[in-house]
Structure 1
Amino acid sequence: LPKFIGLKNYSKLIENSEFWIVTARSLLVVSLTLPLELLISLGLALLLTEVFPGRAMVRTLILLPWMLPPIVNGFLWGWLLNGEYGALNGLLYQLGIIDEYVTWLRNPDTQVIWVAVVQTWTRFAFPTIILLAGLQSIPKDLLEAAKIDGASSWQSFKNIVLPLLMPSFAIALTIEFIAAFQIFDVIWTLTAGGSAGGAINPFTKTLMLYNYELVFRDLRIGLGAALSYLILFLSLGVAIVFVTRLYNQAVKS
């Protein structure tokens, strides 16, 4: 018969060292992905506010990686980085940069870095759209007045554009944190193997893959359910911090 055990599953998770290892790895993926995404997105958003030939085409092309499912992006990058027939190895070999093919995805020290690169490629379009919308909502009168007063482009960006972009940054940071923190598809197709019943790569095992392992491999449904709630609460907590702090900073500015 079912038996009520209270918070026992939560205490088991917290006392398990593997939980803390995969949590730290999830945060590592976030810390590598978010700066890359936001820097690229901000640069592209600033570029797309300018008028130049082919701007509409560039805006369309930027959306393509985001339109593809993450699992497809994972397989595409797995093919590009393949150590035997990958396109990246072929290009570098033809250019004379490498003498022999490199097994990019088999090095445990760089696997998480490649995960962050592919996640950035998959997701950068969304924060670009958010920041572009924020830039286009800034009144041009403010920038023109600052220019008349002798402000340089950097001063206008630092003192006007950046503070007014904080609400957009809050939205982009929140959504992209959740996407990176709960990453599954990219890791599964890129480094985890993805074969039914096979072992999950321990060097790229994050919270979501650990959750999958508990529920579908070990059939420890109670622990998996408890971990799902912990992931939800952690994501909500960080999202609330991002939104409140950045919005408050925008209001003060």
Structure 2
Amino acid sequence: MLKKILIVEDDEDLRETLAYALSSPARAVTALANASEFREKIAERYDLAIIDINLPDDSGFAVVRHLRDTSPTKIIILSGRDTMADRVEGYTHGADIYMVKPTAQAELLAAVESLLRRDTLEQGGELAGWRYDKEGSLLSPEGQKINLSVRQSDFMKRLMRSPGAAVKRDELRRVIGIEETDESGRALDMFVTRLRREIEDQTKQKAPIETVPRQGFTFRKRS
């Protein structure tokens, strides 16, 4: 199946180099210079995107946020900004990988291959039928729309981006905006308990959320 890759990068030399390196008979690469060009193609759907956050006409975070809110696109941020705050913001907006320029081409290509393999696994059933529709609503394997709060939906989207992999508690707190007031971590646990109950009450089946002791939570790959 043809994979569609998006590049949004204002450095012309780097943009052309990446487009050439990623092009193949099995891949269609769209290379854009700024957020305005992205908006002209905003209805397009991509399997993977490489986004620079220092764009001349808007923050690349806005592009990342739109992709994450509207599609299951795998996202790599490729940026010269390397502060912890930038990394945290990138992951909060939905990046799968944050890489700092200059990045060795071999490393970037390996990251692309890894994310595309993950995408193939998810399409092959790793999500066990759970999915999001075009309106951003969580659907059960039977197609039932599940009513969730924005924070609950953000939590599920993060787990479903990495099916079967443990997502650490600290990252999940950042995703949903929870600040623990003590070391017990009960605020996150109570949030997950309520989320499981919401899903199970509405679908009459076990919520696909598993606790990973001493790490965090994971999306259960198989029902």
TM-score class, shorter-chain normalisation, is under 0.3
Q: TM-score, normalised on structure 2?
A: 0.24
Larger radius of gyration: 1
The structure richer in strand per residue is 2
The structure richer in helix per residue is 1
